[in-house]
Amino acid sequence: MTDCEIILVGDELLKGERHDAHLPWLARVLAGVGVRVARAYTIRDDADEIRGLIAQRLGETRLLVITGGLGPTPDDVTREAFAAGFARELEFHNPSWQAIVARFESYGRPVTDANRRQAMVPTGGEVIPNAHGTAPGCFLDGGDTLGVLLPGPPRELRPMVERDVLPRVATLFHREPLRVETFRTIGVGESDLMTQFGDALGRLDAWRVSSLPSLTGVDIILTARDGADRGALDEGANRMEGQLRAGLGGKFYEHGIRSLDRVVHDTLSERGDTLAVAESLTGGRIGAMLTDHAGSSAYLLADVVTYSNESKVKMLGVQPEIISEHGAVSEETCTAMAHGVRRATGATWALTTTGIAGPSGGSEKKPVGLVYLGVAWDGGVQAHRVRYRGSRDMVRTRAVYGALWILLDRLHRA
Ligand code: ATP
């Protein structure tokens, strides 16, 4: 019998019209109460399929979570299928209906008869109120398996899970949180990491080790083995952290799950420094990422997208001769952009990107993927020449993370 299985319902997930947001989030919060997600299924809005799968998983998993398809329209069939899968009838639940009516009144819209379907609950079910939408969820005790029915929109589902589902699951399982330690690196390949640290990782007896490479770096993830001793876990994780720090320096940038842009955001905020960015090939992505974080106005003074040569001259004061002599993609232009944006804004730090994203525009001397990343500060400037491989999008994404990383590296040295 598995701990937990999840059924994600929705044609849009299978047509590629929407990314699933539930599994990664649910897996993480359930791990927080010690529960492992063993399987996940993505299936169509088809009542027979949903019912059949639920009936098949009953007794095979202690927790069966089903999401999506609780709306009022005829293609929303999960509620009926959920009840049928557990061999229950649906019955009208007046408190849920009153909540739906009140919600429609607050919108100033008339409630429709179709919405009455959303107030139907399987017999013996226990309603999970939905504070952010019309469709309530429900717990259903199926003997060995507890069913949990939840609506599709993440902004509705997440508060319901946090308020009602996690406490219930924690009482059901009585587990310690699953311990997971994440070490995030950038600028080293997975195989180089394994060559350098494979032996040390292999000696972590209390931990199961995995590595997760992405476009932007490699995460080393330690997951506690069942029954592992707490002292051995702490000792192993601390030892590994020390070894990564000694061996990788700034390329090991996070013990935890903060993203690189979040670490840069936190570091600048803590220091009270300011930043100005001038982007060419990355077209504003650096500023977009940093401004995703509340509080970025405390340090981000400007992000200028200087895509043309002329804008580099007019807006950043790059001398035209520098561009005509060395080209827009050059160490000299990158450095001049960094000085220029820093001068114009008075920021403590300047960060710049210029490069050839492709697929065209490359030459033998300046191939597609050639990127210069610049950072300037009081009394110094540095331009890094890098060569990224892959599609236009990959080159641009790598350039964004490369730039954030060289800034972070400098911040740590300052
Ligand atoms: P509603 O009452 O809003 O209709 P619902 O429970 O019926 O909620 P759906 O109709 O399946 O949910 O989907 C509502 C919204 O939630 C849609 O925009 C859908 O794409 C989104 N959604 C459903 N499942 C997921 C998922 N796994 N990840 C991200 N979004 C999802």
Which residue's alpha carbon is at the smallest distance from atom 1 of ligand 1? 71
Per residue in 88-119, pLDDT (tens digit) is 999 999 999 999 999 999 989 999 888 999 99
Mutation choice for ligand 1 from 6, 14, 18, CB with most ligand atoms inside 8 A:
18
Query: What is the structure's pLDDT at 177?
Result: 82
Per residue in 111-123, pLDDT (tens digit) is 988 899 999 999 9
Per residue in 133-182, pLDDT (tens digit) is 999 999 999 999 999 999 999 999 999 999 999 999 999 998 888 889 99
Pocket of ligand 1 (CB under 6 A): 8, 10, 12-13, 18, 20-22, 67-71, 76, 133-135, 151-154
Cα of 14 from ligand 1 centre, angstroms: 13
Cα of 297 from ligand 1 centre, angstroms: 33
21-30 contacts at long range (C-beta below 8 A, 24 or more positions apart) = 21/154, 22/67, 22/154, 22/157, 25/154, 25/158, 26/65, 26/161, 29/161, 29/162, 29/166, 30/4, 30/166, 30/169
Structure tokens at 98: 């009153």
How far is Cα 346 from Cα 95, in angstroms, rounded to an integer? 60
DSSP track, 80-128: HHHHHHTT--EEE-HHHHHHHHHHHHHHT----GGGGGGGEEETT-EEE
Which residue's alpha carbon is at the smallest distance from atom 15 of ligand 1? 153
Structure tokens at 261: 């842009």
Assess whether pLDDT exceeds 90 at residue 227.
no
Residue in the structure block whose two tokens are 């300047």: 350
Assess whether pLDDT exceeds 90 at residue 368.
yes
Mutation choice for ligand 1 from 12, 43, 73, 149, CB with most ligand atoms inside 8 A:
12
DSSP track, 292-312: TSTTGGGTEEEEEE--SHHHH
Which residue's alpha carbon is at the smallest distance from atom 27 of ligand 1? 20
Per residue in 252-297, pLDDT (tens digit) is 999 998 999 999 999 999 999 999 999 999 999 999 999 999 999 9
pLDDT band at 342 (very low <50, low <70, confident <90, very high): very high
How far is Cα 318 from Cα 21, in angstroms, rounded to an integer? 44
How far is Cα 373 from Cα 240, in angstroms, rounded to an integer? 31
Q: What residues does 224 pair with on adjacent strands?
A: 207
Residue in the structure block whose two tokens are 């007794």: 59
What's the angle, vertex CA 272, arms to CA 216 and CA 267, rounded to 5?
25
CB 252 within 8 A of CB 184: yes
3-state secondary structure of 382: strand
Task: Tell me the one-letter amino acid at 313.
Answer: V
pLDDT band at 414 (very low <50, low <70, confident <90, very high): confident
Structure tokens at 52: 């059949």
Task: Return the exposure string of 288-309: e unless at least 16 CB atoms fall within 10 Å of the residue's CB, then b.
Answer: ebbbeeeebeebbbbbbbbeeb
pTM, to two decimals? 0.78
Which residue's alpha carbon is at the smallest distance from atom 2 of ligand 1? 71
Query: What is the structure's pLDDT at 341?
Result: 98
Nearest ligand 1 atom to alpha carbon 17: 20
CB 261 within 8 A of CB 289: yes
Nearest ligand 1 atom to alpha carbon 45: 11
3-state helix, strand, coil in the chain (%, to 5): 45, 25, 30
